[in-house]
Amino acid sequence: MDKEFLKKCEKRLLEEKAKILGRYREKEEIQERLGEESREPRDLEDIGQITYTEELLDNLSQVEMQTIREIEYALEKINKGIYGMCEGCGEQIPEARLCAIPWTRYCAKCAEEMEKETGTYMPSYGVTDMFNIDDIKVERDDIGEA
């Protein structure tokens, strides 16, 4: 892997980390504002919306914090000179995959295997695989023949 590509990946990792931290700061501000609003008497619908928003923000931050951990790990791997090596098979991860997900630990094949093992695998279906247009029949009583 050439140094120019590594610099590009490192820059992208740092930019993504900065974006996540920016969103985290915004989330903190929103939660603070929601906390102030929830102190005032409100109807049940408002309280439900505030609670839902707080839970949603909390879940997003958990996912984003995991992504930051992965970004930090990827940056550490760049510094150690082992960035881009699949932790499953030891092969070089294709640059296209690293451009798409610069914090990935696995090549696509190993990532798919890991997802199957952990139960998070979602197979990719093409539109033609999901629906056979010839099998779809629409029957409506409210439409007559022209």
Predicted confidence (pLDDT) per residue in 42-54, tens digit: 666 666 666 666 6
Do 98 and 71 fall into the same domain?
A: no
Residue 70, SS3? helix
Yes or no: say if 57 and 27 are a contact pair by the CB < 8 Å rule.
yes
Residue 121, SS3? coil
Structure-block tokens of residue 128: 């033609």
pLDDT at 102: 95
Residue 145 lies in a domain: no
Do 38 and 102 fall into the same domain?
A: no
pLDDT at 35: 65
> What domain count does the chain have?
2
Residue 128 lies in a domain: no
Do 16 and 69 fall into the same domain?
A: yes
Domain with 103 in it: 85-121
Do 73 and 22 fall into the same domain?
A: yes
Do 5 and 75 fall into the same domain?
A: yes
**pTM score:** 0.63
Do 17 and 65 fall into the same domain?
A: yes
For residues 119-140, average pLDDT? 60
Do 37 and 79 fall into the same domain?
A: yes
